[in-house]
Amino acid sequence: MSAAVRRKPPVRTERRFFATAARGLEPLVADELRALGAKDAKEERGGASFGGPLAQAYRACLWLRTANRVLMPLARFPAPDADRLYTAINRMPWENDLSPDGTLAVDFTGSNEKIIHTGFGAQRVKDAIVDRFREKSGRRPSVNLEQPDLRINVHLHRDIATVSIDLSGDSLHQRGYRARGVAAPLKENLAAALLLKCSWPESVKQGGAFVDPMCGSGTLAIEAALIAGDVAPGLWRTRWGFSGWRKHDPQLWDHLLQEARRRRDAGRDKIPVILGFDWDSTAIDAAQTNAERAGLITSKDAPPEGEWQKQQGLIQFECCALADNVLPAGLTPGLVVTNPPYGERLGAAGQLGPLYTELGRWLRSQCPGWRAGVITGNPDLAKLVGVRARKINTFYNGALECKLLQFDIEPERFMRSVDV
């Protein structure tokens, strides 16, 4: 092996991993990793690095709510041009990780002066691996972009390439419970990030309810239930990046799955009242289906007056316009988090002003004593909520910059507009 290609020690020893994250979510991913017991979780550009044995990376795959992927770096070397990249990749012992009859996919990010296109970079990496197999065994793995046995991630920063195995496979936001979406669903990991940023776990400890008055396909309500119920967000996924990896440890993974199932069963009683509303019945049907697929108990029938405190563990979705939404009496004040349309994908921004004004009115009349978070890509619309934001954070919904505004709802003290 070339001196330039530095291999990390075998998988049973401690090593460093990297959880990738959307811009703005890096600190949340680092916090989650610390809570999962990872060593030296460190926020970095594009994610968070952490240390530990393979079990720690498996745990991260299963439990991280806000990350995109979990990578296991294998080597880091100079790759100023495509030939140097090819040679270094070709010298790595890929037969330890993949069978010659297996399948692979290469994700390539970054560029430099000589490797300008990621497609070209990915092609050279694939050629280097396949050629090595052919030279050694006369057989070669084939490419499967959808469900490969090994997904290889190469990141080029300036002239340095980092080569990793993608242990997560599909992006972690694809929990596996979403059967149907609506027009503009939030990604599951962004929804979880908003809830964590709004201190939802603290609200759960106090028994506070959760409401999303414009819930669409129910992503925020479902993620709120999973956090409250200590449910691992990866429990529904049947395929991972490590499923076809030669060094996969099925016993270790099975042990972690069993532990997660035990925690899910024990956590059911901790889920407080969770309500989702939308004026679109198709959205409510989708929310109901998604929540059921997530193993949550759902209902479209309101329980008898005064019975709400007894509804732990139940998500209720109801078709209702914001202007007609009267919350049931007896709810323990908790958290409202909502993602109203903001004109980018649904409705024109100009027509949405009255909806944001209505949202402010609804929060003051229905939710005094609650906390609220509103995510919007249009800060001008957010001003129309008419409640002073206690905190404003920036997130990215895909490429779109969004603001999360957090409010403490007090009925008497409100302003006509705020600067955001």
- Taking the complex as a whole, how short is the minimal distance between the CB of residue 123 and ligand SAM, in angstroms? 36
Q: Does 372 contact ligand SAM by CB under 6 A?
A: no
Using CB under 6 A, which of 131, 280, 318, 380 touches ligand SAM?
A: 280
| 176 vs 162: CA distance, rounded Å | 29
| 134 vs 270: CA distance, rounded Å | 55
Q: Does 343 contact ligand SAM by CB under 6 A?
A: no
Q: Does 186 contact ligand SAM by CB under 6 A?
A: yes
- Taking the complex as a whole, how short is the minimal distance between the CB of residue 46 and ligand SAM, in angstroms? 24
Query: Which two tokens mark 386?
Result: 């008419």
What are the C-alpha distances in Å from 302 to residues 94, 155, 223? 57, 51, 21
- What phi, psi does 379 have (nearest 5°)? -60, -25
Query: Which residues neighbour 348 within 8 Å (Cβ) at sequence distance 6 or greater?
Result: none
Q: Does 68 contact ligand SAM by CB under 6 A?
A: no
Residue 129 sits at the vertex; the CA angle it makes with 123 and 135, to the nearest 5 degrees, is: 125
Are residues 162 and 151 in contact, defined by beta-carbon separation less than 8 angstroms? no
| 124 vs 86: CA distance, rounded Å | 6
- Taking the complex as a whole, how short is the minimal distance between the CB of residue 185 and ligand SAM, in angstroms? 4
- Taking the complex as a whole, how short is the minimal distance between the CB of residue 196 and ligand SAM, in angstroms? 16
| 411 vs 394: CA distance, rounded Å | 27
- Taking the complex as a whole, how short is the minimal distance between the CB of residue 378 and ligand SAM, in angstroms? 12
Q: Does 190 contact ligand SAM by CB under 6 A?
A: no
Q: Does 115 contact ligand SAM by CB under 6 A?
A: no
- Taking the complex as a whole, how short is the minimal distance between the CB of residue 63 and ligand SAM, in angstroms? 21
Residue 61 sits at the vertex; the CA angle it makes with 285 and 222, to the nearest 5 degrees, is: 20
**What one-character-per-residue DSSP string does 92-140 give?**
S-GGGTS-TTSEEEEEEEE--SS---HHHHHHHHHHHHHHHHHHHHS--
Q: Does 321 contact ligand SAM by CB under 6 A?
A: yes
- What phi, psi does 81 have (nearest 5°)? -145, 175
Query: Which two tokens mark 409?
Result: 């709802």
- Taking the complex as a whole, how short is the minimal distance between the CB of residue 245 and ligand SAM, in angstroms? 32
Nearer to ligand SAM, 180 or 268 (CB): 180
- Taking the complex as a whole, how short is the minimal distance between the CB of residue 186 and ligand SAM, in angstroms? 4
Site size toward ligand SAM (CB under 6 A) is: 20
- What phi, psi does 101 have (nearest 5°)? -95, 5
Residues 214-273 contacting ligand SAM, CB under 6 A: 214, 216-217, 219-220
Nearer to ligand SAM, 362 or 370 (CB): 362
Positive or negative, the CA dihedral 152, 40, 264, 191 is: negative
Q: Does 182 contact ligand SAM by CB under 6 A?
A: yes
| 162 vs 53: CA distance, rounded Å | 20
| 253 vs 261: CA distance, rounded Å | 12
Positive or negative, the CA dihedral 404, 409, 413, 414 is: positive
Q: Does 341 contact ligand SAM by CB under 6 A?
A: yes
Q: Does 274 contact ligand SAM by CB under 6 A?
A: no
Taking CB under 6 A as the binding criterion, the range among 9-17, 132-140, 210-218, 401-409 that sits at the site for ligand SAM is 210-218
Nearer to ligand SAM, 116 or 323 (CB): 323
Q: Does 292 contact ligand SAM by CB under 6 A?
A: no
Q: Does 346 contact ligand SAM by CB under 6 A?
A: yes
Residue nearest to ligand SAM (CB): 216
Q: Does 102 contact ligand SAM by CB under 6 A?
A: no
Q: Does 279 contact ligand SAM by CB under 6 A?
A: yes
Q: Does 276 contact ligand SAM by CB under 6 A?
A: no
Residues of this chain that bind ligand SAM (CB under 6 A) = 182, 184-186, 214, 216-217, 219-220, 278-280, 283, 321-322, 339-341, 346, 355
